[in-house]
């Protein structure tokens, strides 16, 4: 019998502990603040930014929104980032992606001060993750590790297979599983005999971006299946990378979409912002 990993429940528990720590900092005279930059009129970005601001309010953090017009240039955005890097009320800086085409995204992300880089996209933070000595963890993989911990799912010695090698999800996910002594394999679009690899997995993480990509024949009996995908199916309904209805009976644990990994991502952003605030405060 499979068990659902309830991302909403785990997120609520982590947010509760963040809230308590934010209150303690505030009693000591330190407010925690997140700057959120949004450029242009992408409706999905607007939803994400609103959810991030709501998350901040829920745990007692301040959020400062900077909404810039679609035609913003790289230099204008860099100027804002520089200003926020030097603003002591701002502990974390988040630049909502994707940015309009004319903006050099890499240049902007690399301009965010590493100690305010709460998305953990800066190469300095990526490097820290590689050597296992980090302040910030990328939000989605960190949220997954938090879920595994909450459900007492040990990674040590397990065969872990990650499908997807993006810098945001797949690669850091693999590093975090390795950090917990998993035996990790990363698969991608050039992987041969994918099914044979995924069937070895005790813990299978799907971060592909293709609806219902993972089918029951790809999953070992008793596996833990984590679905990162956020896709729309033919009916326009939100769905994951895993064919949940067919795969679930083979699993020991499985995350649903929605209600699995998704709620954890913003929660870990809040956790990173708290970490930044504590580090700034200790200076
Ligand atoms: P991405 O950058 O597009 O990466 C997708 C990965 O899947 C790539 O590494 C690609 O391989 C691999 N892939 C594609 N087709 C494949 C195939 N047939 N067989 C094996 N591997 C294949 O996507 P991402 O940013 O990592 O996101 C993945 C999914 O997670 C998306 O649905 C996204 O919306 C979702 N997501 C959700 C959250 C959340 O909070 N829930 C957060 C972030 C992302 P190549 O490298 O060879 O191209």
From its phi and psi, is residue 239 left (phi > 0), alpha (psi between -120 and 50) or beta? beta
Tell me how many domains the chain contains: 2
- Give yes or no for residue 140 CB within 6 A of ligand 1: yes
Query: Domain of 78?
Result: 28-113
The pLDDT-based confidence of 135 (bands split at 50, 70, 90) is confident
The answer to whether the CB of 187 is under 6 A from ligand 1 is yes
Residue 169 resides in a domain: yes
> Which residue bears the tokens 């980032």?
81
Q: What is the mean pLDDT of the chain?
A: 97
Q: How far apart are CA 70 and CA 75, in angstroms?
A: 14
Asked if 90 and 152 sit in the same domain, the reply is no
Between strands 159-163 and 203-206, the pairing is parallel
52 catalytic? Reply is yes
Ligand 1 center to residue 209 CA distance, Å? 4
For 128, 170, 258, the CA distances from 8, given in Å and listed in that order, are 29, 22, 10
Q: How confident is the model at residue 91 (pLDDT cuts 50, 70, 90)?
A: very high
Q: Identify the residue whose C-alpha is closest to ligand 1 atom 17.
A: 189
Tell me the per-residue pLDDT of 196-252, one tens digit each, with 9 for 90 and over: 999 999 999 999 999 999 999 999 999 999 999 999 999 999 999 999 999 999 999
pLDDT tens readout for residues 175-190: 999 999 999 999 999 9
pLDDT bin (cut points 50, 70, 90) of residue 1 is confident
Query: HEC string of 44-99?
Result: HHHHHHHHHHHHHHHCCCEEEEEEECCCCCHHHHHHHHHHHHCCCCCCEEEECCCC
Task: Give me the CATH number covering residue 183.
Answer: 3.40.50.720
pLDDT tens profile 19-68: 999 999 999 999 999 999 999 999 999 999 999 999 999 999 999 999 99
Q: Is 172 in the pocket of ligand 1 (CB under 6 A)?
A: no
Does residue 161 share a domain with residue 90? Answer: no
Q: Are 152 and 254 members of one domain?
A: yes
Q: Residue 283: is its pLDDT beyond 80?
A: no
pTM across the whole model: 0.96
Q: What is the rounded distance in angstroms from the CA atom of residue 139 to the CA atom of residue 43?
A: 21
Pocket test of ligand 1: the residue of 201, 208, 232, 239 to mutate, having most ligand atoms within 8 Å of its CB, is 208
- Ligand 1 atom 6 nearest Cα: 164
């Amino acid at each position: 019998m499979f068990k659902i990993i309830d991302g909403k429940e785990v997120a609520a528990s982590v947010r509760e502990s963040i809230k308590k720590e934010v209150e303690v900092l505030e009693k000591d005279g330190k407010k925690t603040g997140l700057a959120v930059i949004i450029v242009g009129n992408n409706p999905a970005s607007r939803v994400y930014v609103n959810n991030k601001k709501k998350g901040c309010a829920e745990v007692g953090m301040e959020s400062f929104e900077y909404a810039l017009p679609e035609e913003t240039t790289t230099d204008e955005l860099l100027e804002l980032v520089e200003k926020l890097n030097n603003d002591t009320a701002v502990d974390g800086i988040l630049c909502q992606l994707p940015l309009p085409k004319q903006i050099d995204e890499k240049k902007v992300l690399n301009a965010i001060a590493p100690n305010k880089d709460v998305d953990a996209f800066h190469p300095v933070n990526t490097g820290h993750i590689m050597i296992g000595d980090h302040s910030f963890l990328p939000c989605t993989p960190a949220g997954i590790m938090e879920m595994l911990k909450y459900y007492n799912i040990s990674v040590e010695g397990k065969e872990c297979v990650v499908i997807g090698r993006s810098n945001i999800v797949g690669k850091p996910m693999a590093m975090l599983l390795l950090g917990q002594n998993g035996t990790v394999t990363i698969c991608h679009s050039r992987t041969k005999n994918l099914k044979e690899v995924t069937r070895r997995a005790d813990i299978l993480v799907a971060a592909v971006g293709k609806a219902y990509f993972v089918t029951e024949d790809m999953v070992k009996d008793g596996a833990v299946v984590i679905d990162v995908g956020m896709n729309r199916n033919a009916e326009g309904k939100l769905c994951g990378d895993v064919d949940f209805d067919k795969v679930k009976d083979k699993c020991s644990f499985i995350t649903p979409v929605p209600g699995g990994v998704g709620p954890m991502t913003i929660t870990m952003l809040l956790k990173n912002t708290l970490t930044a605030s504590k580090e700034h405060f200790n200076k």
